[in-house]
Amino acid sequence: MLRTFGAEILARPDGPFAFRFILQPLMSLLMATRDGIKDARTGRTPYLWHIASTDPQSRRAAVHEGLRSTGRILLLGVLIDGVYQYKVMGGLVRPLEALAIAFILGFLPYLLFRGPIARLARIVLRRKQSAGQ
C-alpha cells in the first residue's frame, strides 16, 4: 500500500494538471512573502522558529494562522488532485493522497519560506530606516 502511494505521488508531475506543481508553491510563496513582511514590521519571531520553540498553545495558534493563510491554496490543491485522480485512475479517488499532495505543494513552501522572507524584510526595513535618518 505504501509503495503504491509513493509510486502514484511520484507519477503526478508528468501527468495532466502538472501546472499545479508550479502554481501551488508559487501561491504559497506569495502568502509567505505577505505574512513574512508583516512579521518583520511587527517584530515577530521567524515563523518556523516560533512553531518549534513555543508552548503548545502558541504553537497551535501559529499553525492555525499559517493554515488560514494557505487554506484556499490547500483546498484548491485537494480539488485539483481529486480531479486528476478521477481522470487518471479511472474514477478512483484517494483523499489521503490528495491531502498529502496539497500539503506538500501548498503548505510546506509557506512553512519553509515565511521565516527567511521575514529576516530579509527586516534587513530591508532597517536599511530604509537608517537611510531616512
**Which DSSP state fits 103?**
I
**pLDDT tens profile 62-103:** 889 888 888 888 898 899 888 888 888 788 888 888 898 889
pLDDT at 120: 95
Distances (CA, A) of 125 to 33, 50, 89, 113, 121: 14, 21, 50, 18, 6
pLDDT at 89: 79
Q: Tell me whether residue 23 is exposed, middle or buried, using C-beta atoms within 10 angstroms of its C-beta: 0 to 12, 13 to 18, 19 or more.
A: middle
Neighbours of 69 (CB within 10 A): 18
**pLDDT tens profile 4-54:** 777 777 777 776 777 888 888 999 999 999 999 999 999 988 888 888 888
